Structure 1
Amino acid sequence: MNRRNFIGNLALGGGLLSVSPFGSSAYAVPVTKRKVLVGTESLSADLVVAGGGLGGCAAAFAALRNGLSVILTEETDWVGGQITQQGVPPDEHQWIETHGAPQLYRDFRTAVREYYKRYYPLTADAMARKFLNPGDGSVSRLCHEPRVALAVLHDMMAPYLSNRQLVLLLEHRAVSAEMNGKKVKSLHVKSLRSGKTYALEAPYFVDATELGDLLPMTGTAYVTGAESKAQTNELHAAEKADPTNNQAFTMCFAMDYVPGENHVISKPLEYDFWNNHTPPLSPPWSGKILELNYSNPRDLKPKALGFHPEGLRTGDSLNLWLYRRLIHKANFAEGHYPGDITIVNWPQNDYMLGNIVDVDDDTFHHHVERGKQLSLSLLYWLQTEAPRPDGGQGWPGLRLRGDVMGTEDGLAKYPYVREARRIKALFTVLEEHVGAENRKMVMSGDGPVKAADFYDSVGVGYYHIDLHPSSGGDNYIDFGSLPFQIPLGALIPQETENLLPANKNIGTTHITNGCYRLHPVEWSIGEAVGMLGAYCLETGERPLAVRDNPDRLSDFQRFIRSQGIETHWPE
């Protein structure tokens, strides 16, 4: 049999039998793969994925389980993107435990819980919880440590690394691309350790980088920043377009609390600046950035926040300590942890004073370093000046936990990026397709308000439209959306034929990116893209033709549904 074999097994490892997605008959045959050819200067595979975040990992898993060989590159030394290297527990919708994401994503979540139950000294009560939340953080039903997510992802990759079906190039950065007309011929990546450059060749390439780095390298048309109302007719769009106006990024960090000890860091170099800084936003921020208040995202009125590192109530205010808590010591054997561990990804360390999208390396690093200074200044303020309920100031027992983040400086390996370059796609998702208020305005009839039904749906997701303060001076833009679909047209560039996006670089706007940028949606995008690559290699069709041909599109949608990808929300 000449054609590639598609693995229907959704297990976290590799399967040994194949199930045909094309038609009703199943067959069992040994898996065959194209070998990954490793030379001194070049590597080739069926699929090259640049960027090891959740979208990149999901694209790789989807291709691997369908018999393809994959080269996966990652700029840092950790795969996982926002859930590991950036230190952000999953932002998810309320139905995530049962539906609204691919089966493999839910398998990943189950494996995270099983990791804690297998290796950690949980209490009997925590061990018995089906939906264990190790940190009991309020932001997620699964607040957990970055290293555990990393371990699970490595376990999922292990069978494919072992047989060389997957080549993983950590600490390799894409630097250029070679084109053949409208097709990417090769991607050149450079080792950040040795300086050696490889030419990666494949029929299909996936841009899963955090900032959409492959788009300018390949001449793929893209947009950045905020569109205007005149361009998109979106209810919440800006009056004037600004391609440099992107959401704040955050240099997250982890800390725990050891009562009675002093872990105060050295005063950061920019502390005096940040301690007196008021974000230059419109409408105005509610005070200085290093204070326990912020602008309520929904109405932009001043809102008080609380902080107590022992988890105690802070009146009617949200206790920031609990918000993204990764480890709740009460879930573990007494004495195993001296205190809880929490992630600091708060309004107080959102960096708004510069744009890192589509800028040169010097500008990028300048703003990242200032973002680090902001985060360290926030920690120092919490340790020395933050108001305590007893009338005192500061919590010197707060301890920076660089070991949790895998870094020497204690901060995340990479900025938590909320916005990137976005392809000019065959179809662009607008607010009128997914925004609750805007959708109500464009719908006719008295039926329930629902998100647009995309005929080419290849996934689903949900999150409110959440735009953090921006480099252009906007305060929060935060409002309701509707459970939505992921249209295939938003994953296909208008011209470049064999490059597919798998991160925050799909065909959305500045506004709709606000609900398509979260963990399970990024995973869904990546998994759909990985299967699209497999389908196109099997059938010989181009991605554009798969979408344009009704029979091919229906066949592809049946294919992805057969492997646990939901294309519609239940009624």
Structure 2
Amino acid sequence: MKRKLITLTLTLISLTSLTPPAFSAPPRTVDKEETCDILVVGGGLAGAASAYEGLMAGRTVCLTEITDWVGGQISAQGTSALDERPTQRSRLFYSRGYLELRERIKRYYGELNPGDCWVSESCFLPRDADKILEGILRDAAKRGKGTLKWYPSTVVKDLDITGDRINSAIAIQHKPTKGTPPLNTFPLSQTIEDAYSYNNSSRFDKTIIRFAPKRVLKGPALTWYVIDATETGELIGLADVPHRLGIDPRSYLEPSSSSATGDPYCTQGFTYTFAMETTKEPQTHQMPSFYPQYEPYYSYELKRLADFGLVHTYRRIWSPQKGETKKFGGITYTAPTPGDISMQNWTWGNDYRPGTAQDNLVYTREQLQATGQLQPGGWMGGLRIDALRKGEEISKGYFHWLVAGNTDSQLGAGVKQPQPNQKFLSGLDSPMGTVHGLSKYPYMREGRRLIGRPAYGYPNGFSIWEIDISRRDYKDDYYRQTLSPETYRSLRTALAGLESVSVVAGRKSPEEVRRRTRSTIYPDSVGIGHYAIDFHPCMMMSPPEAPGNKEREGERQGAGQAYPFQIPLRAMIPQKINNMLVAGKSIATSHIAAAAYRVHSFEWSSGAAAGITAAFALDKGIAPYELVDQLPRQEPQLQELRQRIEKTGNPTAFPDTSIFNETWDKWQ
């Protein structure tokens, strides 16, 4: 079968440069050379899953992580409450590694939900999640006879790219300089620039590491794979491959978009989580100096949620004794008792939601260029430091609002009452493992999103769109009035399922057909996920905490239920580079679809797919793009890969998935 890279369209050329950044040698000698079959950058759940499957396949895996904990959402980001859907959870229809994680949590505590939270079936301590996941990876290496090379406190600074491949990666590992405070003493905003700088500093000693393949062959053969499993799509930005940020332009594929033209600065809010403990006696709380700046923002948000006990137990991660059963706003919970520990992650609380070019967190390509980060040796993580700092401040201010505040920006006076019997938990032995008490890294809901390669039906690059997963039927007046007649007709046609041919041929009107009641089925599906399209929208004005500020108008229009969905391999393959895969939140999704493709079990499934695909590609001597470049024609080796994924206990489709099965309402 003839294989070739598909030529990029002029549209994509206008979106982003096709010239990789030049490789820059570090200013001093590399301290260490490390070789591996698979380099996984980012130790969150997707990265851990990639490493897990690579190890189970007997491969040597290098795993780097900016913090010193593995686990991302469940550990370093503190979001240790598993977001799951009821049907998938009741059937335990997950990847094998995710099932092992759930079982290990249950074994560690003697129960799956030691926090007795009401948002999830499993809420637990972030510091324990790191220990549990490290044990899982060690055991995977033993069972699969693989080798794990774990590099915590390590960032990738530069990539050596020649033509269509990554030859090596230069990384920096940091540790405290002798006589200085330990790691996790200072928040990320105060350390991230130092972490990405080659030179030793008054705070950190650095080790410069060159990661490279175990063997180098002449010719086209690929001998290692690099997986971007970072929280913000760092390697996507550093390698300068086509990607999107923020809101996509409104179209028949993304009909609920809040912008006709798109907006790269409006991404979902990020959150520094923290832990607080209920005490018997009232505590003394000192107001932070910056509190008045953020006080106008804080709110319970909705009257049905305006109850402290409800908010405290929402993501309670430890509960040594069961309190009195309570009910508020239709939700039943057990009241907080002394010793209870709650993790806080609240939209109108510690979410920081910038949405303008003056304050956005994840830099666009233009901003990366302007700050010199696309120059050789210039990469500094691709984030706005001031946004990180303000995210840290708003989170600490939110704790003060919870315990001492009496205002509410959305519900008015008389709703919020002080709750002094609470203690902010900090210290290296605290749930977050930091002296400052905040999570080591913010919980990221959205970063850079890949644009896949042009393919049949996707001339501008592969992507998963809103209409591929949403349960909305789009017949209400909003869409008729907002979309042009031509766009609305295209929307109805795209939703027609098996009747779309009749619509295109003119034998049926789009209004006559019933929309399909399932998500898009992909021939190259390598994983699964299910969650609602859930938004934490950016704010309209800068700064986000400005008095009277509002959420971006129309951002919640796309929110709602989604059908169980798939993870296509094409969404994980970047343009330009043949030995790179993307896992986690940065796969090729639209802004609206990304609001569902971001939770724990999805991250694991995508990471598992990336790890197995990399091992398979090495076994077969074939690049991942070659598995899909002839679709919709048959791809025998793609089917072999999918069979391998399934046989290892990683589902690629939900039960009874078929174009003829449209009875998905039972999946809640």
TM class by shorter chain equals 0.7 to 0.9
Matched with 1:408 is 435
Matched with 1:543 is 624
How far apart, in 2, do the equivalents of 1:184 and 1:138 lie? 45
Q: Is the 8 A contact 1:178 1:218 kept in 2?
A: no
How far apart, in 2, do the equivalents of 1:138 and 1:502 lie? 29
**Amino acid paired to 1:349:** N
CA 1:242–1:231: 2 relative to 1, 3 Å: farther
Q: Secondary structure at the match of 1:366?
A: helix
Residues 1:90 and 2:82 aligned together: yes
CA 1:438–1:454: 2 relative to 1, 3 Å: farther
The 5-angstrom pairing of residues 345-384 of structure 1 reads 345-347=345-347, 348-353=349-354, 354-358=359-363, 364-384=384-404
Task: For residues 98-145 of structure 1, give each alpha carbon's deviation from its aligned partner in whole angstroms, at most 9, with x where no partner exists.
Answer: 24421221111011011002xxxxxxxxx6xxxx32112121111111
How far apart, in 2, do the equivalents of 1:83 and 1:159 lie? 19
Task: For residues 274-308 of structure 1, give each alpha carbon's deviation from its aligned partner in whole angstroms, at most 9, with x where no partner exists.
Answer: 11x2xxxxxxxxxxx223324xxxxxxxx442333
Matched with 1:225 is 246
**Amino acid paired to 2:441:** Y
How far apart, in 2, do the equivalents of 1:263 and 1:563 lie? 54
Task: For residues 36-75 of structure 1, give each alpha carbon's deviation from its aligned partner in whole angstroms, at most 9, with x where no partner exists.
Answer: xxx9431110000000000000000001100100000000
CA 1:568–1:87: 2 relative to 1, 3 Å: same
1:196 Cα deviation from its structure 2 partner:
1.9
How far apart, in 2, do the equivalents of 1:449 and 1:271 lie? 48
**Amino acid paired to 2:287:** K
**Amino acid paired to 1:553:** L
**Amino acid paired to 2:351:** D
Residues 1:103 and 2:96 aligned together: yes
CA 1:143–1:497: 2 relative to 1, 3 Å: same
Task: For residues 319-340 of structure 1, give each alpha carbon's deviation from its aligned partner in whole angstroms, at most 9, with x where no partner exists.
Answer: 11121111223269xxxx8331
Matched with 1:259 is 280
CA 1:331–1:105: 2 relative to 1, 3 Å: farther
Q: Secondary structure at the match of 1:57?
A: helix
**Amino acid paired to 1:504:** K
**Amino acid paired to 2:208:** T
Q: Secondary structure at the match of 1:192?
A: strand
CA 1:187–1:530: 2 relative to 1, 3 Å: same
Q: Is the 8 A contact 1:161 1:167 kept in 2?
A: no
Matched with 1:19 is none
1:91 Cα deviation from its structure 2 partner:
1.1
Matched with 1:79 is 70
1:97 Cα deviation from its structure 2 partner:
4.3
Matched with 2:22 is none
**Amino acid paired to 1:213:** E
1:263 Cα deviation from its structure 2 partner:
4.5
How far apart, in 2, do the equivalents of 1:453 and 1:438 lie? 18
Q: Is the 8 A contact 1:133 1:144 kept in 2?
A: yes
Residues 1:395 and 2:386 aligned together: no
How far apart, in 1, do the equivalents of 2:157 and 2:473 lie? 40
Question: What TM-score, normalized by structure 1, do the two folds share?
Answer: 0.80
How far apart, in 1, do the equivalents of 2:155 and 2:266 lie? 25
Matched with 1:567 is 652
Q: Secondary structure at the match of 1:96?
A: helix
1:494 Cα deviation from its structure 2 partner:
2.5
Query: Aligned to 2:237, which of 204, 216, 219?
Result: 216
Task: For residues 170-199 of structure 1, give each alpha carbon's deviation from its aligned partner in whole angstroms, at most 9, with x where no partner exists.
Answer: 001111111011111111111122222111
Matched with 1:70 is 61
Matched with 2:504 is none
Matched with 1:234 is 255
Q: Is the 8 A contact 1:232 1:430 kept in 2?
A: yes
Q: Is the 8 A contact 2:58 2:146 kept in 1?
A: no
1:384 Cα deviation from its structure 2 partner:
1.5
1:83 Cα deviation from its structure 2 partner:
1.0
The 5-angstrom pairing of residues 47-58 of structure 1 reads 47-58=38-49
Q: Is the 8 A contact 2:44 2:230 kept in 1?
A: yes
Task: For residues 326-382 of structure 1, give each alpha carbon's deviation from its aligned partner in whole angstroms, at most 9, with x where no partner exists.
Answer: 1223269xxxx8331111100221112332112665962211111111111111122
CA 1:446–1:230: 2 relative to 1, 3 Å: closer
**Amino acid paired to 1:48:** L
Matched with 1:314 is none
Matched with 1:22 is none
How far apart, in 1, do the equivalents of 2:473 and 2:568 lie? 19
Matched with 2:570 is 489
How far apart, in 1, do the equivalents of 2:654 and 2:572 lie? 20
How far apart, in 2, do the equivalents of 1:355 and 1:45 lie? 36
1:160 Cα deviation from its structure 2 partner:
6.4
1:234 Cα deviation from its structure 2 partner:
3.0
How far apart, in 2, do the equivalents of 1:148 and 1:331 lie? 21
Query: Aligned to 2:315, which of 307, 315, 324?
Result: 324
**Amino acid paired to 1:432:** I
How far apart, in 1, do the equivalents of 2:307 and 2:390 lie? 24
Q: Is the 8 A contact 1:235 1:438 kept in 2?
A: no
Query: Aligned to 1:432, which of 459, 467, 471?
Result: 467
Query: Aligned to 1:504, which of 585, 597, 611?
Result: 585
Provide the alpha-carbon RMSD of the alignment: 2.6
**Amino acid paired to 1:104:** G
Q: Secondary structure at the match of 1:201?
A: strand
Residues 1:172 and 2:154 aligned together: yes
Query: After the TM superposition, which of the residue ranges 323-332 and 247-256 deviates more from structure 2?
Result: 323-332
**Amino acid paired to 1:457:** S
CA 1:497–1:66: 2 relative to 1, 3 Å: same
Q: Secondary structure at the match of 1:399?
A: strand
Q: Count how many residue pairs are aligned between Structure 1 and Structure 2.
A: 487
Q: Is the 8 A contact 2:306 2:415 kept in 1?
A: no
Question: What TM-score, normalized by structure 2, do the two folds share?
Answer: 0.69
Residues 1:292 and 2:272 aligned together: no
CA 1:293–1:233: 2 relative to 1, 3 Å: closer
How far apart, in 2, do the equivalents of 1:447 and 1:394 lie? 50
Query: Aligned to 2:639, which of 554, 562, 569?
Result: 554
Q: Is the 8 A contact 1:100 1:462 kept in 2?
A: no
Q: Is the 8 A contact 1:59 1:528 kept in 2?
A: yes
Matched with 1:474 is 552
Residues 1:197 and 2:208 aligned together: yes
Matched with 1:60 is 51
How far apart, in 1, do the equivalents of 2:399 and 2:56 lie? 44
Matched with 1:112 is 105
Matched with 2:18 is none
How far apart, in 1, do the equivalents of 2:415 and 2:572 lie? 54
CA 1:556–1:343: 2 relative to 1, 3 Å: same
Q: Is the 8 A contact 2:294 2:397 kept in 1?
A: yes
Residues 1:156 and 2:136 aligned together: yes
The 5-angstrom pairing of residues 25-36 of structure 1 reads none
CA 1:481–1:164: 2 relative to 1, 3 Å: closer
How far apart, in 2, do the equivalents of 1:220 and 1:293 lie? 39
How far apart, in 2, do the equivalents of 1:516 and 1:554 lie? 24
Query: After the TM superposition, which of the residue ranges 497-506 and 91-100 deviates more from structure 2?
Result: 91-100
**Amino acid paired to 2:160:** E
How far apart, in 1, do the equivalents of 2:44 and 2:638 lie? 27
**Amino acid paired to 1:537:** L
How far apart, in 2, do the equivalents of 1:79 and 1:191 lie? 15
1:231 Cα deviation from its structure 2 partner:
8.6
Q: Is the 8 A contact 2:56 2:146 kept in 1?
A: no
How far apart, in 2, do the equivalents of 1:355 and 1:231 lie? 27
Query: After the TM superposition, which of the residue ranges 187-196 and 475-484 deviates more from structure 2?
Result: 475-484
How far apart, in 2, do the equivalents of 1:198 and 1:234 lie? 46
Task: For residues 469-492 of structure 1, give each alpha carbon's deviation from its aligned partner in whole angstroms, at most 9, with x where no partner exists.
Answer: 215552652212111111111111
The 5-angstrom pairing of residues 446-461 of structure 1 reads 446=514, 449-461=517-529
Q: Secondary structure at the match of 2:528?
A: strand
**Amino acid paired to 1:291:** S
Matched with 1:137 is 117
1:269 Cα deviation from its structure 2 partner:
2.2
